[in-house]
Amino acid sequence: MSAVSPESQLLKKKQYSLLDLVKYEPLVAGTTAGVTATLVLHPLDVVKIRFAVHDGIHNTPKYTGVWNAFSTIYVKEGFRGLYKGVLPNVCGAGSSWGLYFFFYSGLKKFLQDGNVNTALGPGTHLLAAAQAGLATLLITNPLWVVKTRLCLQFSESDVHLKPQQTYTGMLDCLKKIYKNEGVLGYYKGLVPGIFGVSHGAVQFMVYEEMKNQYQHYYGLPISKKLGTLEYLTFSASSKLIAVLATYPYQVVRARLQNQHYCYDNATDCVLKISKYEGWKGFYKGLKANLIRVIPATMITFVVYENVSHFLLRLDKRDS
């Protein structure tokens, strides 16, 4: 029997049109999942960011713990203080998860030659997730800059703000960033964000491998829908591993995006954190982040998997 040549394999892949790879289900399911998780857990995001940007140098509020941060923000800024930046966060999370799943599912299907039951290796999952993450980051980074700045709208008694550093909302923030910093202002924190693509790549690789090993062990096809408990377990485990491996980039990115600080670049930020705060400085806000991202990821993946399978069933029924 003659071996199949690489040229034949390439020709086989080229037989798939763009429409074969572009599916609306991952986009809709990912957006729905991202918005749901964000609305439920946004206050924890505010707390995490405020912990991350406290460097002991600049005049920003200091909290003794997660509960102290919640209570202090609520007392000084009210319930709305816990939801500062929620609009760009919802837009950012919804579009990011939607685009991420959209790009990832398309790349994955291409690498599977259109057969959703073809098992891919860890390296292939890592590559597809990294490419999807980079494409998503380039599109959504401006929303994350706006979200970070709105989350860092402290009460006037905590820190003196210049007029150009105060924002009345998402659109006002977008306008002032463009006016005072130009287009490049929308892409502050992009460099550590690019490094942060590894976070999503590690998470998806671990998540996919856990699902594949589970399905292989029980003799199930890869495309088969699993139970809620399995999705909760795999998503939580993969997120924990990814956070512990890549969290420092989030601290660096938040500080570069913070309107109250001034760092020359990502390298300058890393050097100053190391000098003034030591290695612990790279993990500020980790507890608040874990309290937020673990349940957020569990909600996101459970909603995504269920909505995605539901839409696919509808599509098959209509076809």
Q: What DSSP string runs through the chain?
A: -PPPPHHHHHHHHHTS-HHHH--HHHHHHHHHHHHHHHHHHHHHHHHHHHHHH--SSS-----SSHHHHHHHHHHHHHHHHTTTTHHHHHHHHHHHHHHHHHHHHHHHHHHTTT-TT----HHHHHHHHHHHHHHHHHHHHHHHHHHHHHHT---TTT----GGG--SSHHHHHHHHHHHH-GGGGGTTHHHHHHHHHHHHHHHHHHHHHHHHHHHHTT--TTS---HHHHHHHHHHHHHHHHHHHTHHHHHHHHHH-TT---SSHHHHHHHHHHHH-GGGGGTTHHHHHHHHHHHHHHHHHHHHHHHHHHHHHHHHH-
Residue 148 is part of which domain span? 22-153+160-313
In a domain, 174, yes or no: yes
In a domain, 122, yes or no: yes
Q: Report which residue type is found at 299.
A: I
Q: Give the Cα separation of 52 and 60 in Å (integer).
A: 11
Measuring CA to CA, which residue among 254, 253, 240 is closest to residue 287?
240
Residue 181 maps to which CATH number? Answer: 1.50.40.10
Check residue 251 and give its pLDDT. 87
Measuring CA to CA, which residue among 16, 10, 21, 26 is closest to residue 307?
26
In a domain, 10, yes or no: no
Check residue 21 and give its pLDDT. 65
225 neighbors 197 (Cβ within 8 angstroms): no
pTM of the entire predicted model: 0.73
140 neighbors 95 (Cβ within 8 angstroms): yes
In a domain, 80, yes or no: yes
Q: How many domains does the structure of the chain reveal?
A: 1
In a domain, 88, yes or no: yes
Query: CB neighbours of 272 closer than 8 A, spacing ≥ 6?
Result: 55, 57, 263
Place of tokens 């490419």: 131
151 neighbors 84 (Cβ within 8 angstroms): yes
Residue 233, token pair as written in the block: 């377990």
How many residues would you count in the chain? 319
| Local confidence pLDDT in tens for the 319 residues of the chain | 444 444 444 444 445 555 566 688 999 999 999 999 999 888 888 888 787 776 666 666 777 777 888 888 888 888 888 898 888 889 888 999 999 999 999 999 888 887 888 888 999 999 999 999 999 999 999 988 988 888 877 665 554 555 556 788 889 999 999 999 999 999 988 887 887 788 889 999 999 999 999 999 999 998 888 999 999 999 999 999 999 888 888 888 888 877 677 788 889 999 999 999 998 889 888 887 788 789 989 999 999 999 999 998 887 776 6
Check residue 229 and give its pLDDT. 95
Q: Report which residue type is found at 115.
A: N
Check residue 9 and give its pLDDT. 46
In a domain, 62, yes or no: yes
Residue 267, token pair as written in the block: 């390298």
Query: CB neighbours of 25 closer than 8 A, spacing ≥ 6?
Result: 308, 311, 312, 315
